[in-house]
A and B are shown apart, each in its own frame.
Chain A
């Protein structure tokens, strides 16, 4: 049971928009801690996708966007492409656990 809750899987057709939710609590997202997102293609290391809720590192396509409100955050992928097929993880800090915490991951499948 992860501290941050994500749907296990989502799918979409090429060109569609998919949104991945990340639900926390008052001791992490609700306390104002930033959420960060990572993309992991199976067999490779995670790659930073979004940090500070909404900021894309250099080189990340603007098809990826992040948002946060209260105890929840979202990662949106617009114009879904075959190369976006991967696992996506949210991450933040939890003040009760005194720990950096991850979501359980969402597998995105491109139909």
Chain B
């Protein structure tokens, strides 16, 4: 079955760039939407953005100016870059697969999550 696994640094300095990669195994990355979601005790679950396998993207308006998403279908992984991070970006970051219901999208498969702490 399809599995997702996040990887990347667990500690990022303030004002620097957070970079995470999600590896997709057990199935194809093509023809699907892939997404990033983060979770904090204060704000709960927050959608960050998605990327389609052809490279089309969309992101949360509140994060759009700092988010960059990319996909490498040959390596079966997709990536998140979040620039100019602050302590407020400290969170567990999940990658997930996104499917379409009748009227919007939902997240049917999730990675285990990666804790990223922003601190000097």
Chain A residues near B (Cβ < 8 Å): 2, 32-34, 36, 38, 44-48, 51-52, 57, 89, 91-93, 97-105
The interface of chain B, by Cβ under 8 A from chain A, is 44-47, 60-62, 94, 99, 101-113
Q: A45-B112, A45-B113 are in contact. Are A34 and B46 (CB under 8 A)?
A: no
Q: Cβ of A48 and Cβ of B108 under 8 Å apart?
A: yes
Q: Are A89 and B101 in contact (CB under 8 A)?
A: no
Which residues of B are found within 8 Å of A47, using beta-carbon distances? 110
Give CA–CA (A46, B35) in the complex, Å.
Answer: 14
Give the complex CA separation of A51 and B102 in angstroms.
10
Smallest CB–CB gap between B102 and chain A, Å? 6
Inter-subunit contact A33/B103 (CB<8 Å): yes
Q: Which residue of A lies closest to B43 (CB)?
A: A2
Residues of chain A contacted by B113 (CB below 8 angstroms): 45
Q: Verify A46–B110 contact, CB threshold 8 A.
A: yes
Measured between beta carbons, the chain A residues less than 8 angstroms from B102 are 34, 52
Docked pose: A36 CA to B111 CA in angstroms: 18
Contact yes or no, B61 A52, CB < 8 A: no
B16 to chain A, nearest CB (A): 26
Q: A34-B101, A36-B101 are in contact. Are A48 and B107 (CB under 8 A)?
A: yes
Contacts A52-B101, A89-B45, A102-B45; is A36 near B110 (CB within 8 Å)?
no
Q: Can you offer 12 A-B residue contacts whose CB atoms are under 8 A?
A: A34-B106, A36-B107, A45-B112, A48-B108, A51-B101, A93-B103, A93-B105, A99-B47, A102-B44, A102-B47, A104-B44, A105-B44
